[in-house]
Amino acid sequence: MTGKEKLQKALHHEEAPLLLDIGGFPTTGIHCSMVEKLRDYYGLEKRPVVIAEPMQMLGLVEDDLKAALGVQTTTLDGEYNIYGFTQDHFKEFKTPWGQVVLVPGDFNTDMSDRGDVMLYARGDRNYPPVARMPASGYFFDGVPRGQDFDPDEYDYRDNCEEFGPISESSLRHLEKKRAELEHTTNAVLGNLGSTAFGDIAMVPGPSLPNPKGIRDIEEWYISTVIRQDELHRIFDCELEWALHNLEKMAGVLGDTIQVAYICGNDFGTQKGPFCSTELFESLYAPYYKAVNDWIHTHTSWATFKHSCGGIMPLIPGLLEAGFDCLNPVQWTAEGMDRQELKNRFGDRVVFWGGGIDTQKVLPFGTPQQVYDQTLECCRIFGKGGGFVFNTIHNIQAMTPVENLVAMLNAVHHYNGEKIPG
């Protein structure tokens, strides 16, 4: 079966061979160091890995590696990445761990006195850096920026600076990508942006050289309780532009994409939700529902929601808001039993992830333990359809290659497919 066919089966909850996604979305990806190691393992051409997403240093899974792994997804990204520059004019960059990768032309960095890599929004060194990769690190952390927050002087419009009409350049970018994918048999996943609604990765304004407003993460979470009126004003502004831009993008893309990434805001921790169902339903759900309703009315796309953690009590609200796919299905968190998730929600949502524990078993287990857990997850989540195979969030650096191969072998065994490579 093709990737498109497998995804359609999953979306319609029809039992079929599983779609394997590695690298389709920014929360279903793989660290660039592991892309290089997999390319070496499968004997593919040696060349620098392209950075597909710079914050997490995710690597691009190119077509030759997709064929070796059995991956059948293709991504249609917007023009700009999380730091506000385009993914083009690539140049070499040597990482702190010694790997040479290809980064976008505006991926401009300096070295701090401690040896940390400092990165700039839109590549603009005239303003303080937006992100820091520690000398011993493998990805970027946000750097607090912006003016000191004064609640007496606050204007909600400061938090709306990043919202606005999609540019003609960005629409031409989408048109070009659409044309490139016209004949693909892979499942096509749209990572289009503009619908974050409090996604905590976006709150600090990573695409802005000099953000204003509530940009401190702690202050933002406080505001979800004591400044809800201001956050509603921000979300109202974002929604207005989101629907405007979705109409423009849908006019260009048509049925090219099958699933659209809506939001990556986390609502859970290892121990459970960190907001009440009442807060979720009053502050977030109306905006999610407005976006999902528009997409379901005007396009053929399914919608995708990412939230880490133990979110079992919030899942009914996410489904009522209209989400079709849930990721990363962190069943290792408290209160997220795999079988209960499948029994309660498996006929209403596509579980996109949850295929293997990435905190303990995948990085630290034996290949046999990885194989066994992967096969067990496929059998639980795959029964009756409604499952796309991906790990619990991204595949991290220093994961043993033999464990990744064991994971892949288990998926292909479950599917009854010849093991690629």
| pLDDT tens sequence across 103-145 | 999 999 999 999 999 999 999 999 999 999 999 999 999 998 8
Stretch 371-396: mean pLDDT, rounded? Answer: 98
Is 274 part of a structural domain of the chain?
yes
Stretch 215-228: mean pLDDT, rounded? Answer: 95
Angstrom distance (rounded) from CA 146 to CA 219: 13
Angstrom distance (rounded) from CA 32 to CA 309: 24
Question: What pLDDT is recorded for position 95?
Answer: 98
Is 257 part of a structural domain of the chain?
yes
Side-chain half-sphere CA neighbours of 46 within 13 A: 4
Q: Is the pTM of this model over 0.95?
A: yes
Question: What pLDDT is recorded for position 306?
Answer: 98
Angstrom distance (rounded) from CA 6 to CA 410: 17
Question: What pLDDT is recorded for position 148?
Answer: 81
Question: What pLDDT is recorded for position 421?
Answer: 62
Q: What is the CATH number of the domain that holds 359?
A: 3.20.20.210
Is 169 part of a structural domain of the chain?
yes
Instruction: For residue 169, give its domain range.
Output: 3-50+59-85+148-415
Q: What are phi and psi of 365, to 5 degrees?
A: -85, 180
Question: What pLDDT is recorded for position 1?
Answer: 95
Residue 290 has pLDDT above 90, yes or no: yes
**Contact partners, residue 206, CB within 8 Å, separation at least 6:** 55, 82, 83, 84, 121, 130, 131, 142
Cβ-count burial 338-349 (b if 16+ within 10 Å, e if not) = beebbeebbeeb
Whether 86 and 101 have beta carbons less than 8 Å apart is answered as no
Is 29 part of a structural domain of the chain?
yes
Angstrom distance (rounded) from CA 18 to CA 414: 8
Q: What percent of the chain has pLDDT over 70?
A: 100
Question: What pLDDT is recorded for position 118?
Answer: 98
> pLDDT band at residue 146, thresholds of 50, 70 and 90?
confident
**Number of domains observed in the structure of the chain:** 1
Angstrom distance (rounded) from CA 247 to CA 249: 6
What letter represents residue 223's amino acid?
Answer: S
Question: What pLDDT is recorded for position 381?
Answer: 98
Instruction: Return the structure tokens found at 398.
Output: 């220093």
Calculate Rg over the CA atoms of the chain. Answer: 21
CA dihedral 201, 202, 207, 212 (to 10 degrees): -120
Note the Cα 214 to chain centre separation in Å. Answer: 23
Question: What pLDDT is recorded for position 149?
Answer: 87
Residue 198 has pLDDT above 70, yes or no: yes
Helix (H, G, I), strand (E, B) or coil at 349: coil
> pLDDT band at residue 361, thresholds of 50, 70 and 90?
very high
